[in-house]
Amino acid sequence: MKRNDTLCTYSRIAVIEAYGLYLMTGIAAACIGASMIALTGYFQVSVAQVAALSSAFALGRVAMVFFCGIITEKLGVRRSFMIGYLALGINFIFMPLNTHYWLALILMAIAGMGMGFQDSGCPVILSRAFSMNYSGAMSAGQAFFGIGNFIPPLTMSLLLLSGLSWKVMFFIFGAMTFALFVATFFMPRERILDNSSEHEHGFSMTWLKREGKFFFVLFLTNFFYCSLLNIVHIYTNPYVLSFGIHESISVNVLTMFSVGAVIGSLAFVRILRRARPVKVLLVNLVIAFLALCIAIISGNIIVFFIMFTIAGAFSGVLFSVLVTLATDAAPRHTAMAASLIGFTGGISDILTPLAVGRVVTVASVRIAFPLVLLATAIAVVGAYMVIRLQPRKQQA
């Protein structure tokens, strides 16, 4: 990624802090799944109750992300990063020290608040530091989040092989968070990073004649895009199992989707240098739709692996693209625009499992992926409308 010529040492620290926050929120989001069996025994609760800890993480993010945007705009990115890292660190350190399930729910909600500060603060840093390739910088952030998702399962498997407790994993991540928290004191002051002038926000600047309609369609597209990801992550394994494929094989289909998402995010760091984000949004959604269609029609495990990898590669980067479009449309309020994308995504994270779960209960798990295609199709229409509502770029 091409940096601004004026990017100084302090700004480099700020960029490291931004990508570090993406990494640590990715780790926090995956910790519960990686240690699920250990936590059921530790808290003496069911698997469903442990899964509810992930819901608490999502609720904490949704409840606070809008206020995180306000805090970021009022106090600056440096202080918001401090609060974000502190929230994540509290969860990592006190989860293994705590023996009460209800307190674990609170700790995960606090960690979710930390992700809210990632949603609002990181785009501000990256938009200033990489004005020539802001979209690519956001794609790299998505890749760091995806890498973070892989670290807890890998760490947990190594701990199990070594005969060590799951608590060690949380303490390791707590130490990493503390180091990044200390580094925030070396970030530049807000007068360096948080100048929201139109000139500094020259990355792909667009002025929208119909901002209200544009944002409504953008948020709607984001909602159904997140629905697509939610259904895929929840129902891929049981859906593939319904074709008579053994669980030891079917469980890896979702892994390939995640691998594809990380690879795609890294690849689009370069692609977004040349391609317009709004066109990437539409084309990638169409490709993901076609890949999932082929997988569903075939019912073959080899095709599942290939098509889910392709779908992940083209869909995994799109949350960062949606954030880019929102912040590009509101350059004076980058933190708030990014927070609203996080908020609508969080609402989708809460409502989609409830709605799809009810339908699957009434029908069967086979209905889940037609619903994936429906959500993707609506997102495709939304992406097309975003293009239509976005006027030609104008120079600031």
**Mind listing the pLDDT tens digit for each residue in 311-332?**
999 998 898 899 889 888 776 7
Quote the CA–CA distance of 391 and 373 in Å, as a whole number.
29
Angle at 193 between CA 188 and CA 195, to 5 degrees: 140
**More confident call, 116 vs 396:** 116
**Averaged over 289-297, what is the pLDDT?**
94
pLDDT the model gives residue 355: 85
Quote the CA–CA distance of 329 and 207 in Å, as a whole number.
6
Whether 211-389 and 9-192 are alike in CATH topology: the answer is yes
Query: Given pLDDT bands bounded at 50, 70 and 90, which one contains residue 196?
Result: very low
Query: Given pLDDT bands bounded at 50, 70 and 90, which one contains residue 64?
Result: confident
pLDDT the model gives residue 150: 81
139 Cβ contact partners less than 8 Å away, ≥ 6 residues apart: 265, 266, 268, 269, 272, 317, 320, 321
Q: Which fold has domain 211-389?
A: Growth Hormone; Chain: A; (1.20.1250)
Predicted confidence (pLDDT) at residue 289 exceeds the cutoff of 90: yes
Q: Which residue has the tokens 């119909």?
A: 210
Query: Given pLDDT bands bounded at 50, 70 and 90, which one contains residue 177?
Result: very high
pLDDT the model gives residue 211: 66
Per-domain boundaries in the chain = 9-192, 211-389
Alpha helices in 242-394 (DSSP H): 247-271, 277-298, 301-315, 318-329, 334-362, 368-389
Q: Which of 137-151, 199-213, 267-281 has the lowest mean pLDDT?
A: 199-213
Q: Which residue has the tokens 């990898």?
A: 309
pLDDT the model gives residue 203: 34
Q: Which of 213-222, 243-252, 276-285, 365-374 has the lowest mean pLDDT?
A: 243-252
Q: Which fold has domain 9-192?
A: Growth Hormone; Chain: A; (1.20.1250)
**More confident call, 30 vs 103:** 103
